[in-house]
Amino acid sequence: MTDADCIELAELDKKCFSVPWSKQSFLEETKNPLAIYLLAKDNGKILGYCGFWRVSGEAQVTNIAVLPEYRRKGIAKALAEEMLKICTDDEQIVLEVRKSNSAAISLYEQLGFIEAGVRKHFYHDPEEDGITMLRRKI
C-alpha cells in the first residue's frame, strides 16, 4: 500500500462500511511497521484489500473489504489466503466481526476461523455486538 493508494482506499471503504476509514487513517497505516496491507488490483484499480497487524506472535485483522460490484468472485478469499501464507505456523490470527455480518462470518469459517467470544456493544453506527474469531495454524 502506497500513499497514492490511500485516497482510493478511503473511497472504497465508504462503499463498504457504515464507519469508513479516512484517507488519513490509511496514510497512518503506511507508516506503521507492524501493519501489512494486501491490495487486489485490476489494471491499477483497487478492487479490495485486507489489512492486519502482527504484534507479539499474533496477527490482528484490521479490515477486509471488496467493492460491492466485485463481490462473490473469490477476491476476499484470495486476499485472506495470502495473509495466512504470510503468517508463521505458530501465529494466532484474531479478528472482530459484526454479529449480523453473515457474509464475512461465512468467509472466515471457510478459512478455519472459529468463534471465540462475543464483545457486547463493540460496534457503533449502528450499535452491535462483535464476534471475536480466531484461527490457530497449529
Cell of 106: 461465512
In whole angstroms, what is the distance from residue 26 CA to residue 13 CA? 10
Examine residue 16 and tell whether it contacts ligand COA (CB under 6 A). yes
In whole angstroms, what is the distance from residue 116 CA to residue 52 CA? 18
Among 29, 37, 49, 108, the one annotated catalytic? 108
Examine residue 65 and tell whether it contacts ligand COA (CB under 6 A). yes
Q: Mark whether 29 is an active-site residue.
A: no
Q: Mark whether 108 is an active-site residue.
A: yes
If the CB atoms of residues 79 and 87 are measured against ligand COA, the closer one turns out to be 79
In whole angstroms, what is the distance from residue 3 CA to residue 120 CA? 35
Examine residue 12 and tell whether it contacts ligand COA (CB under 6 A). no
Nearest to 51 by CA among 59, 5, 117, 14: 59
Site for ligand COA, rule CB under 6 A: 16-17, 64-66, 71-77, 97, 101-104, 106-107, 110
